[in-house]
Amino acid sequence: GNVTMKLTLIPPGKFMMGSPEGEKDRSKDEGPQREVTISKPFYMGTCHVTQEQYEQVVGKNPSTFKGAVNPVENVSWDEAVEFCKKLSQKTGKTVSLPTEAQWEYACRAGSKSRFSFGDDDDKLGDYAWYSKNSDSKTHAVGQKKPNDFGLYDMHGNVWEWCSDWYAESYANANKNDPTGPASGSTRVLRGGCWLIGPLYCRSAYRGWTTPDFNHPISGIGFRVSVDLK
């Protein structure tokens, strides 16, 4: 239907996952900070999955703030996974939600600061739609500055589902291509959204909720990861 999706190639590498104990607004579940290896390159959606993309694949649009190139929202983890499965079938590619480690690695894009661009809350508006500048709604993807990997809206606009189950600590986490615990009751959310402040938009901040959670003002969307094969 002439609806396409742009992907960005993310190179392999190592990074410090989580936040140092002295970081402003740090939450306890962002540690212990550790070096993590992403051993293989992968593609990541350059932007959030948009409403026109979601509707083309699934056949419906659950979003409150309608707009073809606005991010799809009010999507549960289960629904996001179903989208990935259907898109995999349509394209012959392996499409999935990114792991939490892939997400933070892609978000940081080599940075070690609170945000991908530095530590200053006052500069967040150059990169993100959040409580201070969003006018209490989502906005078309790709309007703000990208990070150094060329990814847009990694901070703000809508929360992004990750594939991992949530765990309260990284203490027992794998350091090589980690995929989170084997089981759990909640799934990980990253990046913050239009509704909230800078604290929740930081690169290391971790949200979580049940995989079936769906609410008209949830502010939850997603972006995809695609295997290089």
What is the per-residue pLDDT across 15-42, written as a single tens digit (0 to 9) for each? 999 999 999 999 999 999 999 999 999 9
Distance CA 220, CA 222 (A): 7
Relative orientation angle of helices 77-91 and 51-58, to the nearest 10 degrees: 70
Coil, strand or helix: which one is 212?
Answer: coil
> What is the pLDDT at residue 217?
82
Three-state SS annotation for 4-67: CCCEEEECCEEEEECCCCCCCCCCHHHCCCEEEEECCCEEEECCCCEHHHHHHHHCCCCCCCCC
User: Amino acid identity of 168?
Assistant: E
Q: pLDDT digit string (tens) for 149-198?
A: 999 999 999 999 999 999 999 999 999 999 999 999 999 999 999 999 99
Confidence bin at 101 (pLDDT 50/70/90): very high
Name the residue with tokens 């949530």.
166
